[in-house]
Amino acid sequence: MNGRYSRNMPALSAEECAVLGQKHVCVVGCGGLGGFLIEILARIGVGAMTVVDGDVFDVTNLNRQLLCEETLLGTKKAEAAAARVSKINSDVKIKAVTEFLTMENGSQLLEDCDLVIDALDNIDSRRILAAVCAKKDLFLVHGAIGGWFAQITVVAPGSGVLDKLYPPKAQVPNKGNPSFTPAVCASIQATEAVKLLCGKPSTLLDKLLLIDLRTLEFTKINL
């Protein structure tokens, strides 16, 4: 569609927009983070996306998950994501995977991907994703939220960063998930994804961005 990406520019060059159109991103998780990520990446013009989630929408998702609508309760999240992308940008090749990531299916799910985005909601699955990315030599854009807080980092294949971020006995109390937190976290994850896809240096490679939305403190820690 003519002019679709004109407002990407000059923040992104025409060449960078063309590069994005050739890239394939896998978004693992189509909930709070995933919904915003998929929307942003479809609109900016990533060429292809594989979206992975074995879950269905329930009423507790309505407060924050962009893809969740009252009429979609009970619908598979990955299928809803694919339908949304088709409405936003029919140029995006979208593949919906309605199963959860496992060590067994991981390699196949990430086949032909250029970049992987962690939009998961539990530590065990995140560890599996990092292991599969290491095996496939893929960079991973990690994001996680809890209450008024978020964290984002870019994980080089095999760096072991997620194992450090999540010690074996880590306790993660429920802090709730208000609607604004996934939006902030996903936007920054998408920003880093676009940089990586365009061949720009990632600001968060080997760095952890910690966000406190109560105080609006953004802290970058060298890893």
Partner 1 sequence: MKVLVKFFVFDLPPGFADAELELPEGSVVKDVLDACLDLLEQRNVTMDVNELKTATVMVNNKWSDADDPVADGDTVSIIRPMDGG
Binding residues vs partner 1 (CB under 8 A): 29, 31-34, 118-123, 126, 143-151, 164-167, 169-173, 175, 177, 181-182, 208, 210-212, 214-215, 219, 221-223
CB of 160 to partner 1, least distance (A): 9
Contact 119, 29 (CB under 8 A): yes
Q: Smaller CB distance to partner 1: residue 88 or 123?
A: 123
Tell me how far apart the alpha carbons of residues 54 and 52 are, in angstroms, rounded to a whole number. 7
Q: Which structure tokens are listed for 10?
A: 């000059």
CB of 144 to partner 1, least distance (A): 5
Q: Smaller CB distance to partner 1: residue 19 or 149?
A: 149
Q: Smaller CB distance to partner 1: residue 128 or 150?
A: 150
Q: What is the residue type of 163?
A: D
Burial of 221 (0-12, 13-18, 19+ CB in 10 A): exposed
CB of 140 to partner 1, least distance (A): 14
Q: Smaller CB distance to partner 1: residue 20 or 66?
A: 66
N-term to C-term CA, the chain: 42
- Residue 92, CA distances (Å) to 8, 78, 141, 149, 160 in order: 16, 15, 20, 32, 32
Contact 37, 119 (CB under 8 A): yes
CB of 147 to partner 1, least distance (A): 6
Q: Which residues pair with 76 in a beta bridge?
A: 56
Q: Smaller CB distance to partner 1: residue 87 or 169?
A: 169
CB of 7 to partner 1, least distance (A): 29
CB of 30 to partner 1, least distance (A): 10
Q: Max Cα separation, the chain? A: 53
In terms of DSSP bridges, do strands 149-155 and 140-146 run parallel, antiparallel, or are they unpaired? Answer: antiparallel
Q: Smaller CB distance to partner 1: residue 22 or 219?
A: 219
